[in-house]
Amino acid sequence: MNPRRLPEKLLPEAITPFQAVEAAYPEALARVVEALRRGLAALVECPKGLTPYVYKCVRDRLKSEGLACTYLDGRGEGAEGEGALGRGLMAGMVDALRDAVRGAVDQRVIVLPHLDLLTSSTGTLTTEAREVISLMYENPSLQWLGFRDPSFPIPRVVTDLFPHRVSLLGLPRERLAQLVTRREARKLGRDGLDVYALYSHVSGLDAVRLRNLLGALQGEDHPVDPSAAWRWLREATVEPGLSLPDVDLERDLGGYAGVKKRIRREILDVVRHTAGLDDPAAIERAEALVPRGIIFWGPPGTGKTLFAKAMATALGAAVQVISGPELKSRWVGESEARIRQVFLRARQSAPSLIIFDELDAFASARGTYTGSGVEHSMVNQLLTELDGFRANERVFVVGTTNLVEALDPALLRPGRFEFQLHVPYPDAADRDAILEVHDRKLDLQMSEEARAYAVRQSAAVHEGGTPWSGDHLQALGRALARRRLRDGLTGPTTPADVDAALTEHADRPSLTAAERYVVATHEAGHAVCALHCPHMPSIDRISIRSDVAGALGFVRYADPAHRYVVTRGQLLDLLCTLFGGREAERLLLADLSVGSAHDLRRATEVARDVVGRFGMGPDDLEVRDFGAGPEGNGHVAEPTRARVDAGVRAVLEEARARAEAILTAHRGALETLRDLLLTHEVLDASVLATLE
């Protein structure tokens, strides 16, 4: 017989909530009864709705042992004859507890169904809590049966009274078949009940809530397509604060083929493989291989949270997105309580996925905190929750961060956040695929030329000073969509439309004719030097239109063919090109502007690295690492430092002289390019090809 699918005839005809509790938790109930029979106090952790059913099951078993129970729920008569509703439920429970402790003469079990409400506190204990604790310690001969909801923390001084503790959270998979009736199984498909499929939907429920949901199942018997019943069941199990995302890994996320491949291979494919197994032992082994903790790290705006939602969609998991800073509280214990609540909701809605956005906001390496130190307790609580998963529990935790190196090392060990995935800024192919997604969703009707133009434009640094991210590309798509709506455009989106969307709100300075002449000369100098340096990437665009914030003009290059290996020839060509703007001004204007300040600073940094770090300086300087930066060679002797500085000067002067020679030899091309820039302001690669 297939252990995944039970024949309908093996399922019960009917089952009451009390029978469901007996069937779901027989071992736990037996342990509680055995502890009480031996005179030991027992604490049961379970949802509030489960408490009365568990109590009845325990009470019925205790009757055969000759033990009576006193159930203190605060609904009895008070000392003055007032009902609990008139005096308050808490006061009624405290009065009843006082009478039970000081009036008990026979052996009986004192049952506290609301122990958590009586003693719960995230800071200073209330007056009622202090009295309850005092009363519970007053009569050592009493036997206690306490109930606590996992949502409410209780003080250690209370839990110490209970040497025997039982947790009834979720459902044991091996007991699930006894909790489903034949009528309900018929609503979920043909050929019996798929136990493992059902467990993946309801593992976080307790037995009573499961019976309530299954009893409400509607639809035809033995449907050919039971997806509607499964979908209703999935939606009904989602706790408030969680949602079922609809983000397709391929349809809604463009590019990032490597990131998608790792998500599929390391997580999704393993889960799908597990779903196709029949042997329980093989299923357990496969389940243990699925990473439960995942870190998506990389710069802002690259889609880390979107990747997590796409993963949740593929897993059929509910999602709750938690902002790291929002978890912090100034009240003692409240931050840890919030983390407990997050994991409790996730377990009750399993399969589920928790996304801790900006995880580093509270989970930085312990010992680095400068505030109140609440982060230390929050990290400890997070570690406790991560270590508390059952082997077959379908709860995944994703942390997103810009600084993975700042996270506490204990979080990154195997078994916790063991799967780490870098989501970088998108390259040209990724940007093209992302734009294609937004083109389809926003009905932009982008032509091939328009999309290619947008990809080239987004190769530069964004106005915010960072490379273009997925968020920036989405903003561009939305700007295009607003422009089409506002201007009533219906035809294809053209490169001119893209350019307008990028520049129509740009805060451009108004240059005089003389200033435009200087800027055009400067950028033409960079371009001509780059065209005659064999190791420089090809030029994609030249502009004197102030398209980039903080720059009056720019020369943008295509993505380099070699992105990870940098040679001496490339560095020397870069230095020559950096001097091109300054030397063009000297040659054509017989003057210099301050526009070369950034070029000089960068050239000096590169030259220092060439000589001081990479051992590529003059031949008379020994090959070693002298340290980077102006102060980096402070560990060497003064004569050696002077030789290093001399080497830097020599490299810079050689690059400057090379730029001067190139521009002098190609003065005609330099002047032609300057004049074209003054006329058109923006030139692309096709125009530059005629100058080579």
- Count CA within 13 A, CB hemisphere, residue 337: 16
Q: How many CA within 13 A on the CB side of residue 7?
A: 3
Residue 409 token pair: 């090392």
Residue 477 CA to its chain's centroid (Å): 24
Does 52 sit behind a cis peptide bond, omega within 30 degrees of 0 on the bond before it? no
Dist CA 420 CA 414 (whole Å): 11
Which pair of structure tokens corresponds to residue 326? 């929002």
- The one-character DSSP state at 691 is G
Q: What tokens does 200 get?
A: 């993946």
Q: Are 18 and 55 contacting, i.e. CB atoms less than 8 angstroms apart?
A: no
Report residue 161: phi and psi, to 5°.
Answer: -75, -15
Q: How far apart are CA 250 and CA 683, in angstroms?
A: 36
Determine if residue 325 is left, alpha or beta; phi over 0 gives left, psi from -120 to 50 gives alpha, anything else beta: alpha
Give phi and psi for 398, each to the nearest 5.
Answer: -115, 130
φ/ψ bin of 248: left (φ > 0), alpha (ψ from -120 to 50), beta (otherwise): beta
Identify residue 424 by its one-letter amino acid code: P
Are residues 333 and 339 in contact, defined by beta-carbon separation less than 8 angstroms?
no
Whether 128 is catalytic is no
CB 272 within 8 A of CB 290: no
From the candidates 336, 358, 385, 523, give the one annotated as an active-site residue: 523
Contacts 24+ apart (CB under 8 A), 130-133: 131/94, 131/98, 132/94, 132/97, 133/157, 133/158
β-sheet bridge partners, residue 145: 42, 111
Residues 245 and 320: their CA atoms lie apart, in Å, by 10
Give the sheet arrangement for strand 108-112, strand by strand: 68-71, 108-112, 143-148, 42-45, 164-167
Catalytic residues, by residue number, are 523
